[in-house]
Structure 1
Amino acid sequence: MESVSEGDPVVRRRPKDRKAQIARASADAFGEQGYHAVSMEDIAARVGITPAALYRHSPSKYDLFRDAVLGLGQQLVDSTAFADDGGDDEDPATTLRALTSALVDTTISCRTAGGLYRWEARYLRDPDRAILVDQLKVMNHRLQVPLERLRPKLTPPEVRTLLTAALSVIGSITDHSNPLAAGEIRACLTTMAADLLAAELPLARRRTGAPRKAVTVGAEAGMYEHVLSESVRLFYQNGYRNTSMEDIASAVGIQASGLYRSFPGKADILALAYRRAADRHSSDTADALSRTSDPEEALDEVIDDYLGRVMEWPELPYVYYTERHNVPEADLRVLETIESSTMDAWARLVTAARPDMKIGAARYAVAAAFSLTVDFGRIFTREAGPESVATVRRLMEVTLLGRPVKRRR
């Protein structure tokens, strides 16, 4: 074997898994910070290479982003491929459990980056978005077949609703970082998904009173309220990055200079909208707890109040989840404190109504219930009927308790 003298240059060989390292670093970066906030320099630093070396592997940030999103979609497809090998003799309940377990395991293993296809896929170009849609269709079809065999009386819309709910619950762990052992996460997600796939959806509206309607806030409400309302609407329609202060000023009918005199920038407006939502949710929860000492009755109340707020401002839940990485750090810390406190209050209600569940698992159930309202958010249009709200209410109840809430006659 040749020896290397002190004067010989050191030859650094490229690691064999460099491509995989770049893929993991890209997915994690985009998942944590969002597409627009990540640069090629950020990804290169995560891998431990120069930006120039990164460009030799990929021509642009978008290419890395596309590969990350579609790579996650392909993992979902690959993890469920075994279902195609089964025949009519396969027990549908066994197949459905196996598919659910496979998706849970895949989501846990991709937790940091898993939110990419949930929230950031909107930035895919049309041809690439079509590929992701096809990937998700394949996965959904594999779940649909055993569910329809197991529950043949379900209508096609009911099948879609239950599958969407189960996938929402599984994907909800990408939206938070609450601590829990991997085995407990797996058990928690698997149980919630199974409960939802077995759920009976409501046949009609639960309450006879008219549901709350989306609130239209005009200039007569004052500039502050008008700005918050129009900003969230624009963030929902166009995305935070594609909305300027000039766009917001135009929407409220004032000059941009006038808007800047009241709000330093759009990040401050976003933070104010988030704070408004978090404070109202916290206050509603406290009010419900003050009205009754019965945990299940209180849970019924807080769900009702929560969905009422969603109906009043239907665009906000989606914006709340998708744009939070644009909130200034100081504001985000305050928001996280409020959110954690409110989530703990809900979780304590769940454990009181469901003594078999530990507080850590209850927090995961609460986060999953909130996630449902976002993933079903498209039904909370300004024309949404009470049946849609009753459906999401039932899904939240089953997620939290494993069954509908028991209501007093």
Structure 2
Amino acid sequence: MTAEPAAAVRPRNRKQLIVEAGATVFSERGYHAASMEEIAAGVGITAAALYRHFPNKYALFAECANVTADRLVAALDDVPPDAALADLLAAVTRVTVAHRAAGGVYRWEARYLDRADRRLLKGKFARVVGRVADAVRREHPLPGEHLRAVAALGAIGSITMHHNSIGRRRVEDLLRASALSVAATDPTAAVADVGLVELPARPVPRTRRSEILAAAIPLFERDGFAVVTNGMIAEAVGLVPSGLYRYFPGKADILAAACLQAADLLTQAVEHNLRGVTDPLAALTATYVAYSFEHSALNSVANAEVVGLPAGLRRPLVAAQREHIAVWEEHLREARPDLDTRQARVLVHAGFGVVVEAGRHLRWQDTPEHRAAVAALFMGALDL
């Protein structure tokens, strides 16, 4: 008599494995491009087995976002109440770097979660920021301790926004030092050349194609990329839905074209504002901050949605970003010859992370004071 094959043993931590795989796929592909089938394959199970743990993609995404926040809360709870700021930031850095591949979920939680889940998650992150802000206030009694705490955490969280390869210990040390420098930076300190930068004027929509670009981004930012339809964009510019296809194959092409247009404006601004300056890093910083405030709606949409664009549309955007970072890298290594190429890139991205989180904290209210504060914190992230 032939024995029956032994039944496969279900791992006790299968739900945890699903969450880990889900967070990674969401981070790499974006919420809408990710599929439950792809996540299930990453765990080695069928989609049907995955649905026994999570009823739909939203439920899994919400769990991934909560796990991200819970890890940070738990890491800080393990640090004594009177611990030094360096110890708090070291704990946050260890967790963030260890789960770097899954950290992109945080960038999109506010866009995709419903109001109740967003409120729950906001409370968890507020605990993290509050704990760091208390230590910042205690050790560096300067203005804006909450802004500095948010910006320091943004420097650390930036590691989830790029794929630069660097050793774990090296990147932890680099990010912790950057965050400490941000926390100790006076946001009211003036940055050289911050008031002198110029941005090219936004193109006046003179063609139907440019009208479509100008109309689509506010819709994407307000309603969400997935919700906005080609018909809604067409209506905003006075076209019938089918008329849109004469200019763009679909809304993904519209987003990609808008991002490329903005990247070109940034390139022009950098070339102009670097001419004849004595402090190129200050000029670069002021330019990037001005660009971020000027194009906050587009950047918000791009940070959440570009990762999910088809490779052919995403490739030119990635190339434009790399060219921009190469300029930063050149000038940063001139100012800090102790840095190698990988370290310089990590610090540049840390500065970008500062701008994203500090800008959000300031609700992207575009004032000279806000631009100056964010620029000062960006320079702090470079640890000059």
TM-score by length of 2: 0.91
Alignment of 1:27-176 (within 5 A): 27-83=23-79, 85-86=80-81, 90=82, 94-152=83-141, 154-155=142-143, 158-176=144-162
Gap regions ≥5 residues in structure 1: 404-409
- Do the aligned residues in 1 keep the contact of 2:199 with 2:266 (CA within 8 Å)? no
1:209 to 1:178, Cα distance in 2 relative to 1, 3 A:
closer
Alignment of 1:3-402 (within 5 A): 6-83=2-79, 85-86=80-81, 90=82, 94-152=83-141, 154-155=142-143, 158-202=144-188, 221-289=206-274, 291-292=275-276, 297-378=279-360, 379=362, 381=364, 384-400=366-382, 402=383
Alpha-carbon distance, 1:169 to partner: 0.5
CA distance in 1, matches of 2:305, 2:86: 34
CA distance in 2, matches of 1:113, 1:208: 35
- Do the aligned residues in 1 keep the contact of 2:69 with 2:121 (CA within 8 Å)? yes
CA distance in 2, matches of 1:237, 1:50: 36
Moved more, 390-399 or 188-197: 390-399
1:124 to 1:208, Cα distance in 2 relative to 1, 3 A:
closer
Residue matched to 1:407: none
CA distance in 2, matches of 1:9, 1:312: 64
CA distance in 2, matches of 1:373, 1:229: 24
1:228-272 Cα deviation digits (max 9, x unpaired): 122111111122111111111222233222222111111111111
1:278 to 1:254, Cα distance in 2 relative to 1, 3 A:
same
Give identity over the alignment, percent: 34
1:207 to 1:300, Cα distance in 2 relative to 1, 3 A:
closer
- Do the aligned residues in 2 keep the contact of 1:372 with 1:392 (CA within 8 Å)? yes
- Do the aligned residues in 2 keep the contact of 1:369 with 1:396 (CA within 8 Å)? yes
Alpha-carbon distance, 1:35 to partner: 2.0
Alpha-carbon distance, 1:203 to partner: 5.5
Alpha-carbon distance, 1:369 to partner: 1.5
CA distance in 2, matches of 1:233, 1:273: 11
Q: Which amino acid aligns with 1:140?
A: V
Q: Which has the larger radius of gyration?
A: 1
Gap regions ≥5 residues in structure 2: none
SS at match of 2:279: helix
Alpha-carbon distance, 1:211 to partner: 7.9
- Do the aligned residues in 2 keep the contact of 1:235 with 1:243 (CA within 8 Å)? yes
Alpha-carbon distance, 1:277 to partner: 2.3
Aligned length in residues: 383
Alpha-carbon distance, 1:201 to partner: 1.8
Moved more, 308-317 or 68-77: 308-317
Alpha-carbon distance, 1:283 to partner: 3.8
CA distance in 2, matches of 1:389, 1:185: 28
Q: Which amino acid aligns with 1:127?
A: A
CA distance in 1, matches of 2:341, 2:314: 24
Moved more, 201-210 or 122-131: 201-210
TM-score by length of 1: 0.86
Q: Which amino acid aligns with 2:291?
A: R
1:390 to 1:8, Cα distance in 2 relative to 1, 3 A:
same
Whose relative contact order is higher, 1 or 2, with alpha carbons under 8 Å and at least 6 apart? 2
1:92-130 Cα deviation digits (max 9, x unpaired): xx5211110000000011111112122234211222212
